A and B are shown apart, each in its own frame.
Chain A
Amino acid sequence: MKTTRREFIPFSFYDHTGMEKHLEKMARKGWMVEELSNLGWKYRAIEPQRLHFYVSFDTRASQFEPEPTEEQATFQEFCARSGWKLAAFSGQMQIFYNEEEDPLPIQTDPEMEIRMVGKLARRVVPLYIVFLVLGFLLGGGWCVSLVNTPIKALTTPGGVLMGLYGLCLFLYGAVDLIVYYTWRRRALAAAQRGEFLPTKGCHKLFYIVMAVMALGLVYWFAVENRPGMRFLAGGMLLAYVVIFLAMNGTKRTMKRRKASAGLNRGVTMGVDVILAMVLMGGVTWLFFQGVQHGVFSIAEQIEAPLSASDLIGVDEEKYLTTVSVDMTPFLDRREVRCRTGFDQEELLPGMEYTLVNVHVPWIYNACFRELCRDTVVQAASHTREMLTTVQYEPVDPAPWGAEEAYQFNLEGEFQQKYVLCWPEKIVQLEADWDLTAEQMAVVGEKLKSA
């Protein structure tokens, strides 16, 4: 039979009522909390019983203290006087239990309790504000780009991941702070009437946020096609987990050996910094070694569906064709550039195109707008003219075999820039020469099926 068990519940920092209720439930099931750490709470098996719990915060204590401080020990003696025994402690948090049926509560003044939580909040809220600003910038920036440039926003795997993490960070931070300050306002009003107001935290929202973040990571690994980037990100993630575990292990070992808080802090931070430098540096070094020796590439080796050589009939070897591919569940983007090879003496006409396969119909129009608008803005910044003088104008799609075709018009002159539309597919193409009807047909045929 199991005699110990562990669990991790991300209670909100102020939610002492939630923690107390949970511990009471665990005691009824036969589990008594005995150790608190960043990795979760550890329980030992006991006879199932009805116990009362109280969670107390003391912001003066450090998480590196090997034993309760003198103030905490005195506080424990006060509590013991009315039957409250210490179950577990970790730095700023002490958990007491009482076996009596109707014990004298540890706090009998609601204002004292609000002050106790308020002191903890003063330490935690600045961190939340940093998270909120970071989350707002990352998540908000990504949302703006999702509306204006969905192709770019969705086909940058790192951007999707950071945007999602930013949104999650902002959402959780904002909700948790709102819930805390709402509780505080209502608890102060209740305290004027001499009443206590139980706290209610957001740990269920935290679970949702964690699930979304995990899904984001899975999405990133699924979408990121470059083996080198996968290695780099996976390695960094693993390094972070190792550092986190090592940091907690060092802190715990030092505490068990009764090292002073200062020594523990110094050694733990030292181990943290050294491990971070060794592991992060090691992963980065391996990444560059791998790229240098061709173990893995940071670019996709995919053939272009259409090359300039297909249209003008010169040897393909004379061209340097680069292809970059981004594949996501929402859309795929292929960017192809055909330029004269470095070893060629004669300059050949070049071509470049972006081919977008849209898998989700409701983003089709936004993708179309992005491809048209980007070129217009780019052209306007070159010519320094008003935006109205540059635009895509509808042209006959028949030569391309497309559903719709648009040609770029700069101050009344058509340029060799096109946007071609098929259902679920949009192509933006730019050539250095005037395309003939035959060449247009080849382009349409090759790209339609790509």
Chain B
Amino acid sequence: MPRAKFQTLTEQMYYVLLCLSRENCGMDVMDQIPAMTNGRVRVGPGTLYNLLEQFVEAEMIRETRCEGRRRSYILTEKGRARLDEEYRRICQQQKDYEAMFGKDGTP
């Protein structure tokens, strides 16, 4: 079964939301994510297009501007809350790791 929608954010979802914490053109997010992650994370145009649609539908982002086909979006309260939740989950993972191996990675 596919995972429930946005129950846990994938890395690509996480960075798309992160980029939209400030008003941003959807298409530009495609370039910003590799720049932000040193090319570690790349989001394909089809995936980005679908994610933007789904985030709007889930009211996690909202459209702010539309110039021709260039649409800009910004994170909503709901989206921010979801992003925070994901951040805490990742932090908890980090804490769990450190409890096991220590901060420098040695047990």
Contacts and interface: CB of A to CB of B under 8 A. Distances in A.
A108 B30 CA distance: 12
Interface stretch (B39-47, B72-80, B85-93): B39-47
A218 B86 CA distance: 65
Contacts of A247: none
B44 A106 contact: yes
Contacts of B1: 188
B48 interface: yes
Contact of A115 (B2, B12, B71): B2
Contact of A191 (B2, B51, B69): B2
Nearest to A75: B49
Interface stretch (A76-84, A154-162, A285-293): A76-84
B37 interface: no
A188 B48 CA distance: 20
A269 interface: no
Interface residues of A, number: 26
Contacts of B44: 82, 104-109
Contact of B46 (A73, A77, A107): A107
> A74, A105, A115: which has the most chain B beta carbons within 10 Å?
A74
Contact of B43 (A70, A77, A108, A114): A108
Contacts of A92: none
Interface string A3-27: 0000000000000000000000000
A111 interface: yes
A33 B69 CA distance: 26
Contacts of A111: 2-3, 10
Contacts of B71: 74
A78 B30 contact: yes
A56 B2 contact: no
A108 B71 CA distance: 21
Q: Is the interface of A mostly helix, strand, loop or mixed?
A: helix
Contacts of A116: 46, 50
Contact of B42 (A54, A78, A108, A192): A108
Interface in A47-89: 54, 56, 70, 73-75, 77-79, 81-82, 84
Interface residues of B, number: 20
A112 interface: yes
A207 B102 CA distance: 62
B27 interface: yes
A78 B10 contact: no
A109 B47 contact: yes
A43 B54 CA distance: 35
Contacts of B45: 75, 78-79, 81-82, 84, 104, 106
B12 A78 contact: no
Contacts of A70: 69
A106 B51 CA distance: 13
Given A75-B49, A188-B1, A81 B30 contact: yes
B12 A108 contact: yes
B27 A75 contact: no
A78 B49 contact: yes
The 7 closest A-B pairs by CB, nearest first: A108-B44, A78-B45, A106-B46, A109-B47, A107-B46, A79-B45, A78-B49
30 contacts: A74-B69, A74-B71, A75-B49, A77-B69, A78-B45, A78-B48, A79-B45, A81-B30, A81-B45, A82-B30, A82-B44, A104-B44, A104-B45, A106-B44, A106-B45, A106-B47, A107-B46, A108-B43, A109-B10, A109-B44, A109-B47, A109-B51, A111-B2, A112-B47, A112-B51, A114-B2, A115-B50, A116-B50, A188-B2, A191-B2
Interface of B: 1-3, 10, 12, 26-27, 30, 42-51, 69, 71
Given A75-B46, A106-B47, A108-B44, 18 more contacts: A73-B69, A74-B49, A74-B69, A75-B45, A75-B49, A78-B30, A78-B45, A104-B44, A107-B47, A108-B43, A109-B12, A111-B2, A111-B10, A115-B50, A116-B46, A116-B50, A188-B1, A192-B3
Interface of A: 54, 56, 70, 73-75, 77-79, 81-82, 84, 104-109, 111-112, 114-116, 188, 191-192
